[in-house]
């Protein structure tokens, strides 16, 4: 149940808060050309980011880079409360120009996807996010300027914390067998992959593999394989070196139609639009 939600979208920035009294599972993976900060206020969630599954507890911050496929799901149908902030490259343009030596988005480039914060740091992060929400509601030039500066300060503050936290301290859910299966998929995604064939490869029953994978990663095997293939397709589309008609075959999709459907479901764009969008962004950067 959505108790509180305030979504704002203006000039490449959006922030909202949702309080849920019962568990909620995202229907499918999604992806966007924006950076995302996810702050868990209360409860515990499981977050899937590309090839990793993470436990996210109250006080944790999740870092989603641009164009990273991800989804979140409930644990034991528990309630939770969170704030999500998304912004694109253009939102901090003025600050980048004023401080060209500062990389405000370095935070999203490292291996750490979940920051575990101390209570004192949690208070500072929560305060920054709530102030941004309040200022954004005003929608005045002064409020927007304050919002941008508040976001920039928060990003720099979190980067300091990220550097202190080792990648192995992130709360990744691991299982040796599942890790090996994920590794196999990352190497063979362009080939036909079935539950039965994968189970035979690792000498386990399809039923056991299906249950173990779902329990550990919290997504089905089909969802995971599609996620890996979509990421590979993105890389090929962004390179501009492979014909769109060939991308489906090179990434393991049985048909071009199936590829287009899954790709659009995950990214919100068909492959042609996605490539065009990427090329336009590269031209703007030049």
pLDDT single digits (tens) 72-92:
988 888 888 899 999 998 998
Q: Who's near 88: CB < 8 A, 6+ residues apart?
A: 12, 13, 33, 34, 35, 66
Residues of the chain with CATH 1.10.10.60: 176-285
CA distance 95 to 98: 5
Task: Work out the percent of the chain whose per-residue pLDDT is above 90.
Answer: 42
Please report the pLDDT score of residue 10 as a whole number: 56
Please report the pLDDT score of residue 245 as a whole number: 86
Alpha-carbon Rg for the chain in angstroms: 20
For residues 34-60, average pLDDT = 89
Residues of the chain with CATH 2.60.120.280: 13-169
Flag whether pLDDT at 135 surpasses 60: yes
Q: In this predicted model, which residue has the larger pLDDT, 1 or 152?
A: 152
* Among 89, 96, 79, residue whose Cα is nearest residue 21: 79
Please report the pLDDT score of residue 174 as a whole number: 60
8-state DSSP, 186: H
* Among 65, 87, 88, residue whose Cα is nearest residue 234: 65
CA distance 115 to 166: 10
CA distance 189 to 195: 13
Residues 2/76/62/50 CA torsion (nearest 10 deg): -110
Q: Who's near 148: CB < 8 A, 6+ residues apart?
A: 91, 92, 94, 95
275: left (phi over 0), alpha (psi -120 to 50) or beta: alpha
Q: Which two tokens stand for residue 60?
A: 């944790």
Q: Domain 13-169 belongs to what topology? A: Jelly Rolls (2.60.120)
Please report the pLDDT score of residue 250 as a whole number: 93
Within a 13 Å sphere around the CA of 103, how many CA atoms are in the beta-carbon half?
8
Give the three-state DSSP class for 199: helix
pLDDT single digits (tens) 162-221:
988 764 454 455 678 888 898 899 889 999 999 999 999 999 999 999 998 888 777 789
Domain 176-285 has CATH 3.40.50.880: no
């Amino acid at each position: 149940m959505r108790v509180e939600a305030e979504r704002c979208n203006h000039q490449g920035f959006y922030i909202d808060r949702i309080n849920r009294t019962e568990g909620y599972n995202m229907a499918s993976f999604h992806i966007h050309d924006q950076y995302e900060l996810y702050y868990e206020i209360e409860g515990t969630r499981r977050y899937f980011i590309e090839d990793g599954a993470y436990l996210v507890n109250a006080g944790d911050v999740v870092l989603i880079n641009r164009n990273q496929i991800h989804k979140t799901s409930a644990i034991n149908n528990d309630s939770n409360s969170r704030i999500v902030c998304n912004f694109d490259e253009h939102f901090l343009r003025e600050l980048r120009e004023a401080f060209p030596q500062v990389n405000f988005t370095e935070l999203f480039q490292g291996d750490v996807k979940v920051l575990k914060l101390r209570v004192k740091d949690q208070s500072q992060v929560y305060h920054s996010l709530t102030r941004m929400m309040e200022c954004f509601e005003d929608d005045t030039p002064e409020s927007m300027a304050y919002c941008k500066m508040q976001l920039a300060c928060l990003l720099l503050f979190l980067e300091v914390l990220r550097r202190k936290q080792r990648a192995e301290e992130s709360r990744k859910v691991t299982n040796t067998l599942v890790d090996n299966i994920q590794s196999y998929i990352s190497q063979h995604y362009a080939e036909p992959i079935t539950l039965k064939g994968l189970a035979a490869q690792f000498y386990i029953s399809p039923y056991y593999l299906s249950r173990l994978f779902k329990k550990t990663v919290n997504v089905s095997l089909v969802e995971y394989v599609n996620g890996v293939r979509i990421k590979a397709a993105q890389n090929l589309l962004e390179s501009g070196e492979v014909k769109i008609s060939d991308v489906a075959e090179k990434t393991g999709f049985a048909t071009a139609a199936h590829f287009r459907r899954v790709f659009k479901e995950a990214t919100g764009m068909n492959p042609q639009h996605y490539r065009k969008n990427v090329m336009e962004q590269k031209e703007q950067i030049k």
